[in-house]
Copies of this chain bind each other. A is one copy, B any other.
Amino acid sequence: MDPAAGRREPTMRDVAALAKVSTKTVSRVINGLPGAGAEVVQRVRDAARTLGYRPNLTASALRRSDRRSATIGVLFEDLSNPFDAALLRAVEDRARHSGVLVLAGSSEDDHALQRELLVSLSARRVDGVVVMAAGGHQDALQHERQRGTPMVLVDRPPTFGGTDCVTTTNRDSSRDAVLHLAALGHRDIAFLGDRRTLWTSQERYTGYLEGLAQAGLTLRDALVRTDLHGEDLAADATAALFGLDRPPTALFTAQNLVTVGAMRVLRERGLHHRVAVIGFDDFPLADMLDPGITVVRQDVPGIGRKAADLVLARIDGDTSPPVHAVVPAALVRRGSGEIAPS
């Protein structure tokens, strides 16, 4: 079953020898270029098939003037996160339709790892990268970008210039969510957010503030909890909120794991039908919970497609000014966000 032992992959030279032509002619036939007669084309095709010849794209890229590897890098935070996975899938689909494959990696929101992966990608001469930037500084990204690598940031914009990015309507949709709650009569709306170093968290918090202000509500610091990385921290923070003298009647949970952690606590305390919840980011089965969870849903495939479109266009030499594409999110009403204050 493993006949590779000792054997060599056939090359153009082997095909050329069998078809009794030059390697250049084989190259022409394989690449469908003109300059080969019908009979020669047939001979070469037959020889290639007989030998099981497969073109070597890396050697080809090395020699060609455009030097394209037809491969892009995708660096997300955690490929096992449903959001990242859906995004990867969208980028991959779009790339595949252009004959481009995807080298994928998880940066775990860690600068050192992100940097290391970036170097690995660049050693493999990817044509461009789509990156979800790790929080905090973006030195490695900026450095890579300045080397000329086509780059598109997703979910979070660059802190440096000259680079495309695709994000969603974090601020506006958050404001809308808060206004939706306020319209039901809620006056004590809590904010539960992810790590503050993340741009998305900041934007969603700003939207929350705008919502409060626009509805004429007072900001209560005690109702704002941030740096909730993961379900458990979110659950703890939620529990703490309900230890307050005047607990919130509604929650705006600004990330999906935070939403889940908060729901867990509400259910434990039997509050899930009395406290309103709107979460940012949809998640599977949100509609199957009791009550269904009202969420701000991002258009993840839309974001992925747009990011892929941008990076592929840059690779093709598009030099128009950098774009910050904003893909709209939408409020999906499922019940939890429609609970009025008691």
Interface residues, chain A, with chain B CB atoms under 8 Å away: 1-5, 7, 52, 54-59, 61-62, 69, 71, 78-82, 84-86, 88-90, 92-93, 96, 99, 101-106, 117, 119-125, 145-149, 160-163, 260, 263-264, 267, 283-285, 288-290, 319, 322
Contact = CB atoms under 8 A, between A and B. Distances in A.
Contact of A148 (B7, B163, B260, B288): B7
B80 A69 contact: no
Given A79-B92, A288-B264, A57 B2 contact: no
A282 to B, nearest CB: 12
Given A54-B122, A260-B288, 10 more contacts: A1-B322, A7-B148, A56-B62, A57-B125, A58-B58, A58-B61, A80-B86, A85-B85, A96-B105, A101-B103
Contacts of A2: 148, 162, 319
Nearest to A86: B80
A104 B125 contact: no
Given A52-B147, A106-B89, A263-B288, A101 B120 contact: yes
Given A1-B146, A7-B148, A102 B105 contact: yes
B80 A85 contact: yes
A149 to B, nearest CB: 8
B58 A69 contact: yes
Nearest to A95: B105
A88 B82 CA distance: 12
Q: Which of A89, A90, A92, A160 has the most CB of B within 10 A?
A: A89
Contacts of A99: 120
Given A54-B122, A80-B85, A289 B284 contact: no
A123 B54 contact: yes
B56 A123 contact: yes
A1 B163 contact: yes
Nearest to A267: B288
Contacts of A4: 147-149
A322 to B, nearest CB: 8
A59 B62 contact: yes
6 contacts: A3-B148, A54-B123, A56-B125, A82-B82, A101-B124, A290-B290
